[in-house]
Structure 1
Amino acid sequence: MKILNLIIICCLFTTITFAQQKDPKTDSLLVEYYQTQRFAEAADYLKKIYPEPVQNPKIISQLAYTSNMAGRLPDAEGYYQRLYDVDSTSQSTLFSMAGINMRRGNNTKAASFYKRILKIDSTNFNVYKQLALISQSDVVAELGYLQKANHLNPQDANIAVDLSTLLIQFKQEATAEKVIDQALQADTANLLLLKGKAQVSYTLKKFVQTINICSKLLANDDRSSQTISYKGISEFNLKNYSDCIKTFHMLDTTQAQNESSYYYLGMSYKALKQDTKAIFYLQRAIEQAISPNTDTYYSEIADSYDRLHLPKKALAAYQRGLIFGEKPIVYYAMASIYDSNLKDTMNAVKYYKKYLSVKPPVEKQQSYIDFTTRRIVDLKR
């Protein structure tokens, strides 16, 4: 906020100076636009008092800045391009061009402007920070930029956390811990860094340390599922089953239980020989682990096998699907395969009867019901 106010003051000084050269009266209206951050109105007013063609770079700079702040990005880019054409080495112009292109979704072009700044100043922390953000689809490039940014400013919490997280992905946990520890030395109460420290400690299986850090986070109202999971799983690994249960039950109020939390709850209750509760939570874990559409997927696989004239594989797929959900039409499809493809009368009758027994929806499958009823009679003759 202090930086923004400083920029506005500078803009006011420069703009009013030129305005006063054009009009001896103090331009109080423009001052009001800037102070109240009504940048769209300010941009329109500047265009009015400085009609094209504008040649003075300082006036163009004000038009560029005001248009940028007003969200008029094509206009802002046009003005900054004019400044760039005059001086392609201006870091402020290059930063502005890069920032506008990032906001417009053109990260490739933004990166090209940031890289031009590095040719002028290879130690620019903010450039490496922005390039890391742009390069998230290329983790190797992102890692390189984060390492350079961290080297220039090891106390920056966001960079330290992002770098440590990426280092963990690259199996460099010890280095990740050093990065976080160095940043924490400068700001021991930074919750973002404490979350990063919890992640590193958990990855390194330093469970006591993980529990202590997570306890600090919980004391500061961080009840995220990640913090609770790190603490609960650490307690489980230390065989503190009662603590593990208490920790994971914190998720009940947020309705954020998942397969993992149900599993650790179930296994903790089992370790405490509370088997009824263990069964309950382990069943919940199974339900979370299995997609409600699994039976449908197997049915689609079975149908494809049937179309490939592979009836036995189709039947096997239908059978597997029934484990995850029972649908009447599956029994009908199986009966049809036994009946038409395999000429297996006994199994055909069995599955036709099964189809009718599970009460298929009459309004949607009346024709199948009628056919099945007649076909059972025919096959029994």
Structure 2
Amino acid sequence: MRTSFLFLFIILTIYAAQSQPIRDTGKPPVTNSAIRSWSPDKNVVMDYFQNQQFAEAIDYLQPAFAADSSNINTLSWLAYANYMNEDKQASEVCNLRILQLDSNNISALSYLVNLNKDDAHVIAMVYALRLIRLQPNKAAWWRTMGDLFRRSNEIDSAIIYHRHAYELAPTDSKNAVALGDALIEKKLYHQADSVLDAGLARDSMNLSLLRSRIHSAYLAQDFAAAIAPGEKIRQLNVPILNALTWLALSYYNLGKYPECVSTCEYMQYNGFDIESIYYYEARAYSKMKEYKKSNDLLAICLNKAISHTAEWYYNDLGSNFEELKDYKAAVAHYDTAYFLFKEPLMLYNCGRISETALKNPGLARKYFALYLKTAHPTSAEEKKAYNYVRSHWARRK
């Protein structure tokens, strides 16, 4: 069924390639015989490419294309320049034109795979299949097809193509990683480890192999096996967030809490200012009974987890509950607002309600005492509240 489907697409694609017009540049046709005989200088084109001047290269090549739209060299350069200039549609048109002239052009087929792999997996598969048929012993094309099946979430088919690529070129780490990752996705961890370990035996510091190996170990809950590849990544000093997170959690699950803390601090030092990392570190400190450090880190987590606009919401909730005469709920929301955002006026609100509505002088005294320690009034209204508390509650026992 799939073969028939792909074969149909091959026919349709060839037909589309043969009928697709080249982009209209908006320029009048060139008739001057001197221009018709002109051809671009390869050295000039290469200089443009080397200097990343792709728009200039396109302008340079357009007269040659207008003079001879069947010159494969000119089309290939235009295809590349447009691709690098992020005009994928123009690049696709050039590559389709090349296929009109040379249906077995490897470069054009390869570009067409890349141009369609994100948005049109099936069309990309058509071109990948043609590459496989043209060069059946080239592992890269089998790996390409496997990648396309993974993008389509067809993992079983991806494994078939990745396995064949690996069999063709087992020493190429790209094939080992691609097959290993597909096997991991199917939870075939032992098979993945066998492939990845063979690759690491040849190249023990390959980052891609190390990352896949720690991923497999972590998902399989073989936390001890995650340590060696994770530490090698640290050794290489190339911070990879996912891999180092798996390392930190593996240490935690093994009860190696100082090592978990060290890994989290390493990630923070390398710019990963992320809530979850502080949380893992806080949990490790808690296991080490260093509760003060754990609480400080949890406070950072709360600060990152809750938007500062939440203060407005808690304040408004408190105000609404006060209007509804649900004073305990009002105090609870003002108290939460202070706990999260340390705004002293929230303490004043708690004390005020405790004094006037709840008739609880002990609770009011607690809130007012903390308010006096933390308040720094600036506005007239804040100064009025501060002076009231200081004059009425500062000396109360």
**Structure 1 and Structure 2 fold alike (TM over 0.5):** yes
2:63 is equivalent to residue 48 of structure 1: yes
* Aligned partner of residue 260 in structure 1, secondary structure: helix
How far residue 93 of structure 1 moved from its aligned partner, in angstroms, is: 4.0
Residue 259 of structure 1, aligned match among 279, 283, 302: 279
Point out which structure has higher relative CO (alpha carbons under 8 A, 6+ apart): 2
Distance 2:57 2:306 in 1: 59
2:43 is equivalent to residue 32 of structure 1: yes
1:23-79: CA deviation from partner (whole Å, max 9, x where unpaired)? 6xxx7x713124435455554343224435x45263663453353366262543443
- Asked if 2 retains the 8 angstrom alpha-carbon contact of 1:67 and 1:75, the reply is no
2:324 is equivalent to residue 307 of structure 1: no
Identity %: 16
- TM-score by length of structure 1 reads 0.62
1:246-275: CA deviation from partner (whole Å, max 9, x where unpaired)? 77776686476733245435645x5xxxxx
- Asked if 2 retains the 8 angstrom alpha-carbon contact of 1:298 and 1:317, the reply is no
Aligned pair count reads: 335
1:146-174: CA deviation from partner (whole Å, max 9, x where unpaired)? 43442232345446546655765665534
Give the 5 Å matches for 1:176-255. Answer: 176-181=192-197, 183-184=199-200, 187=203, 190-222=206-238, 254=270
Distance 1:376 1:240 in 2: 51
Cα 1:196–1:99 shift into 2, 3 Å = closer
Residue 163 of structure 2, aligned match among 128, 138, 151: 151
- Asked if 1 retains the 8 angstrom alpha-carbon contact of 2:75 and 2:98, the reply is yes
Residue 302 of structure 2, aligned match among 263, 284, 290: 290
Q: Where in structure 2 are there 5+ consecutive unaligned residues?
A: 1-33, 134-140, 393-397
Distance 1:118 1:316 in 2: 63
Distance 2:155 2:48 in 1: 37
Amino acid across the alignment from 1:370? K
Cα 1:119–1:58 shift into 2, 3 Å = same
* Aligned partner of residue 258 in structure 1, secondary structure: helix
* Aligned partner of residue 289 in structure 1, secondary structure: helix
- TM-score by length of structure 2 reads 0.60
1:256-303: CA deviation from partner (whole Å, max 9, x where unpaired)? 6733245435645x5xxxxxxx34543444334322575953661452
In structure 1, the partner of 2:142 is 125
Amino acid across the alignment from 1:116? V
2:131 is equivalent to residue 116 of structure 1: no
Cα 1:149–1:246 shift into 2, 3 Å = same
* Aligned partner of residue 150 in structure 1, secondary structure: helix
In structure 2, the partner of 1:8 is none
In structure 1, the partner of 2:28 is none
